[in-house]
Amino acid sequence: MVDPFVRRIVDALPTATGKVLIRDRAGHRVLVEMVAQECLARELIPLIERVSNSELRRVIGTSSPAELSGWDVERASVAAEIGGLIVLGGWRLDLAGLAPESVAAWAAAMGRVEAVIDSRRVPTVVVAVPTEDVATNLGLSMQSLEAHVMASILLSASELRAATDGVVNMLARESSIELRTPGGSLFIERGTRPLLVDDGVVDAADVRIGATVSNLPAGSVYWTVLEEATRGRVELIDSTVLEFGPDGRVTTGEFAGERVSHLGIATNPLVAGSIGWTIVDEHRPGAVFLALGENRYLGGANASAINVDLLPASPTVLVGEAMLVADGELV
């Protein structure tokens, strides 16, 4: 019998064809092999990249910028051949303390690989994989971590779509959105950009409109913005405040020069509370995620070497005059 977790991962990519790249960022060898076997059972050809986050940090920390600038040479060739991508991990790579020039060289090379994947609209799923390392980082037991995330990951696409209907209907009424946080308000225009639903499956309709990346756990409504029209300031959960200038770009700090890629509101009914793991927390009903960076793969117009999801603090969302989210809770 196929493990339900493994089946749900591969079910996320019904449009995958031919070669499927499995990136193991979690260092979970057993899970990788099980996913590869399930791909084979569906007449897909699994290609495995075994570079966990801890190994990747070691490589960046011990390699020269010149060496790291070649990270994309073979990987870009692979990216040009694959018909699906499965990323097993979900924990953000720790780059703290590493040489900035090494990080920049690796990020630029990785960006070139992602550009190939984005340009080809390769269906992709990014999976939150519970591991002992993640549990330790969160101060949880492995049993508690799995209890918190596994049920939300296993929800079907139809159940997740049903949970988003009300939010989609509200957002469709108005293109002006205000995001209020304790540190200020951010004013965003959607214009005629489409509302996208992440139901944990990248189907043919998603691929056609560029919504080629899904998360597990899934369950959200998101949309790209009119990048240059973003104004104001927003406070994040780590107390960082992002201020946006007249061109819609962040004015100072780590993300200076970046613009909003997309904004999303979470709807997964089985994500209860927050545990400090972004890919999970950002799917709690009423959670809001703000992405900075590249969004052309979603039909936007922002070119960037990064794409990072951030969580606003105590978010309140107004659609025109109507309140959709109040202090992190769906109204």
For residue 45, is it within any domain?
A: yes
Q: Which of 85, 106, 129 is the last residue of a domain?
A: 129
pLDDT at 2: 67
Same domain, 93 and 211: no
One domain for residues 208 and 283: yes
170 and 283 belong to one structural domain: yes
Give the pLDDT confidence of 218-231 residue by residue, as tens digits: 999 999 999 999 99
Which pLDDT score is estimated for 309? 87
> Is residue 200 in some structural domain?
yes
197 and 324 share one domain: yes
147 within a domain of the structure (yes/no):
no
- The two structure tokens encoding residue 192: 């005629």
Per-residue pLDDT band for 294 (boundaries 50, 70, 90) equals: confident
Q: Residue 1 has what pLDDT?
A: 56
| Residue 283 domain flag | yes
Mark whether 178 and 66 lie in a shared domain. no
Same domain, 183 and 270: yes
Residue 155 lies in a domain: no
Q: Select from 74, 104, 129 the last residue of a domain.
A: 129
Q: 176: number of CA atoms within 13 Å, CB side? A: 6
The predicted-structure confidence for 256-280, as pLDDT tens digits, reads as follows: 999 999 999 999 999 988 899 989 9
User: Which of 257, 157, 133, 156 is CA-nearest to residue 205?
Assistant: 157
Structure tokens at 37: 């076997």
Spatial neighbors of 193 by CB under 8 A, at least 6 apart, are 223, 224, 225, 226, 299, 300
Q: Are residues 169 and 306 in the same domain?
A: yes
Q: At what angle do helices 72-79 and 100-119 cross, to 10 degrees?
A: 20
Specify the CATH number for the domain of residue 34.
Answer: 3.40.1830.10
pLDDT value of position 210: 84
* pLDDT tens-digit readout, 308-324: 889 999 999 999 889 99
Q: Is residue 212 in a domain?
A: yes
Same domain flag for 173 and 92: no
CB 313 within 8 A of CB 168: no
Predicted local confidence at residue 308, as pLDDT: 87
Structurally, the chain folds into a number of domains equal to 2
Domain that holds residue 61: 4-129
pLDDT digits (tens, 9 = 90+) for 71-115: 999 999 999 999 999 999 988 899 999 999 999 999 999 989 998
Give the domain-ending residue among 129, 152, 172. 129
Whether residue 175 sits in one domain with residue 38: no
- With tokens 């070691």, the residue in question is 58
In the numeric block, the tokens 């799923």 are attached to 125
Question: Does 189 share its domain with 325?
Answer: yes
Beta bridge partner(s), residue 329: 326
> What pLDDT does residue 131 have?
94
| Residue 33: predicted pLDDT | 97
Helix (H, G, I), strand (E, B) or coil at 282: coil
Is residue 138 included in any domain, yes or no?
no
Q: In residues, how long is the chain?
A: 331
Q: 59 in a domain, yes or no?
A: yes
What is the mean predicted confidence (pLDDT) over 281-295? 93
Q: How far is 30 from 41, CA to CA, in rounded Å?
A: 17
Q: What is the mean pLDDT of the segment spanning 169-178? A: 94
- Domain check: are 114 and 262 in the same one? no
Same domain, 87 and 172: no
